[in-house]
Amino acid sequence: MQLSKPRLSFMQIINMNVGFFGIQYSFGLQQSAVNPIYDFLGAKPDEIPLLNLAGPMTGLLIQPIIGVLSDRTWHPRFGRRKPYFFIGALFCSLCLFLYPFSTSLWMAAGLLWVLDAANNTAMEPYRAFIADKLPAPQLATGFLTQSFFTGLGITLANISLFFFQKYIPGQHGAIPYWVFGSFFLGSICSISSVMWSITKTPEIPPTPEELAVLRAQKKGILQPFIEIGEAIVHMPVVMWKLALVYLFQWYALFCYWQNASKSIAQSVWKTSPSENKTLYEEAVGWAGLVNGWYNVVTFLSAFGLVWMAKKFSPKKVHIICLLMAGIALLAFPQIENKYLLFVPMAGFGIAWASMMGIPYLMVVNDIPKEKYGVYMGIINMMIVIPMILQTTTFGWVLNNFLGNDSGKAISFAGVLLLLACAATLLIKDVKPEEEIQAVSVGGH
């Protein structure tokens, strides 16, 4: 990459991040619709964590390898990161189209593996794409614009679940027709939004010297694994500290996503999937609305966090946000009025915006520029390892210590988020470089 990167206008930063909208719509469906589909297909509560193993496992296997490969890629026409966005989005769209046709747990779980592999193929090259394109003073805006589109994509996914559940009756086998509507819409959003960013944003070509280095790199099937291992050995200290934060943070988030619908059914509708399927469907629709709300807050607050991170430092912002999220999940299962659920989830939404962007600001200046891809993949390993721990251990914890009680599972997640907040205190407090111009959602 060039040593001096040109500043981009605000609309250019928006255009380069639009593709994140489609990727996150898919992620929103995974948060809110996949586990209810497992419920519709007859899964037991303590089977749900293991059925979600696809996400973390594919992230662990796919993202670092794709990161290394994208670091080592350059094509004059297709670029460095873009081929991975396109392939990931294409397979994601196909899986979203097929998913609601699942007729058994093994089929749903198998499609989730392919869907997650596709999402992971697109995700971390996209993070590296931002670091490739933007000069240091604009990185905060770049990463938190991704938070904006994260919130927007997941919001549409969740609101579609609520809307279609109200207006599309009937079902195909065990799966209601309203699930089909949400997944078909996601299939369209995934490929179309990524194509928008690909066509609107050119990549920065390597200099002749950088191109010579790329061509001189060792080839071979094992080379990506060797490079990942070397990167981990030489990983900046701040990334090890972030790994501790992520251990608590992402274990907690998986507990919430797996149990939100059942917790709402339990506290508001006083039922469960096995007791009353009709009322549980209402709870699933309401969970979609609640999750949609916190993601509305996410995209509304994302650019405010840009200003706060510059004024107070990314570390301080993330500490406050994790504190709000922990308190929100402790309160969530105690609320019996479905409308009051939106109050704590507003704080959770601000925290979700921070989780999607702020941690990258805490580490990006310590990452070698020629290794953005592999280190973004390693950061994702820090996300998926806690998820693997959660999917392989939480079923046992839920069954033996929490009485298969989804409300207690949400409270447990709240405690873990408070521990993540405490772990963030260990990270060095550094302010990002200030931007020359003010940034707002409406312009530049």
**pLDDT-based confidence at 431, cuts 50/70/90?**
low
Q: Say how far residue 282 (Cα) sits from the centre of its chain.
A: 25
Kindly state the tokens that stand for 304. 């405010």
Identify the CA nearest to 440 among candidates 6, 10, 149, 8: 10
Residue 245 zone, left/alpha/beta (φ > 0; ψ -120 to 50; rest): alpha
Greater confidence (246 vs 65) lies with: 246
Q: Is 167 helix (H, G, I), strand (E, B) or coil?
A: helix
Residue 180 CA to chain centroid, in angstroms?
22
Report, in angstroms and rounded to the nearest whole number, the Rg of the chain calculated over CA atoms. Answer: 21
Which stretches within 168-222 are classed as H helix?
177-200, 208-216
The answer to whether the beta carbons of residues 2 and 132 sit under 8 Å apart is no
Name the nearest CA neighbour of 284 among 36, 70, 60. 36
Element (H, E) at 92: helix 82-98
* Inter-CA distances, 22 with 128, 154, 267, 427, Å: 17, 9, 32, 32
Count of C-beta atoms within a 10 Å radius of residue 220: 8
- SS3 state at 222: coil
Q: Count of CB atoms within 10 A of residue 76's CB?
A: 6
Length of the chain as a residue count: 444
Distance of CA 412 to the CA centre of its chain: 21
- Phi and psi angles of residue 429, each rounded to the nearest 5 degrees, phi first: -90, 110
pLDDT at 324 over 90: yes
pLDDT at 66 over 50: yes
Task: Say which residue, 9 or 368, is predicted with more confidence.
Answer: 9
> Could you tell me which residues come within 8 angstroms of residue 215 by beta carbon, excluding any fewer than 6 positions away?
none
Q: What is the pLDDT of residue 408?
A: 96
pLDDT of 3 above 70: no
Range 361-377 average pLDDT: 83
Q: Is the pLDDT of residue 444 over 80?
A: no
- Residues 6 or more apart whose CB falls under 8 angstroms from that of 246 comprise 359, 382, 383, 386, 420
Q: What is the pLDDT of residues 134-147, one digit of tens each?
A: 888 888 888 889 88
Q: How confident is the model at residue 226 (pLDDT cuts 50, 70, 90)?
A: confident
Distance of CA 310 to the CA centre of its chain: 23
Please state whether the predicted TM-score (pTM) of the whole model is above 0.85. no
Q: What is the per-residue pLDDT across 22-58, written as a single tens digit (0 to 9) for each?
A: 988 988 888 778 888 888 888 887 788 788 887 778 8
For residues 82 and 203, the answer to whether their CB atoms sit within 8 Å is yes
| Amino acid, single-letter form, for residue 78 | F
Q: Cα(332)–Cα(415) distance, rounded to whole angstroms?
A: 12
